[in-house]
Amino acid sequence: MYRVRLWSVRHARGLNAFYRGFESVMVACSGLWRLIGYQRLERPMAAAERLVKGVLFDCQMCGQCVLSATGMSCPMNCPKQLRNGPCGGVRADGHCEVLPQMRGVGVEAVAGSARIPGGAQSLAAAQHAVDRRLQGKSSWLRIVREKTERPS
């Protein structure tokens, strides 16, 4: 929901801190996730992620979350799906050139990043293009695996 999405950017600092804590808990539970099996967990975890992040960020389940680097403004809500915004088409009032009824997703990313310690540096780092093979998958589980499994 658009209003909630804007609220999340306004509260980017707190949400980012919560997210960091949540990530630590998820990583600390990696033994349990391994025991249950990542394959088995994928569907319920993705469903929970879709529900929570859908409400807070209008998450599109790209499977490679960059919210912490984009001021809690989900780049997949940009009509051009730019991860390195704002684009050059932002209107003078900060609204999107494609969907003038909404604020530019990249503009919101700048505002949200300014509220997160180190957010401006994170936003300045170039983001990779979206890997469509991960669409619909849980970012939460992917991050845990990236942090706990050695590449084979």
Binding site for ligand SF4 (CB under 6 A): 53, 57, 59-62, 65-67, 74-76, 139
Cβ-based neighbours of 44, under 8 Å, separated by 6 or more: none
Q: Which is nearer to ligand SF4, 27 or 130 (CB)?
A: 130
Smallest separation, CB 126 to ligand SF4 (Å): 15
What is the closest distance, in whole angstroms, from the C-beta atom of residue 152 to ligand SF4 in the complex?
A: 25
CB of 139 to ligand SF4, least distance (A): 5
| Nearer to ligand SF4 among residue 53 and residue 103 (C-beta) | 53
Using alpha carbons, select from 77, 89, 75, 58 the residue that is nearest to residue 122.
Answer: 75
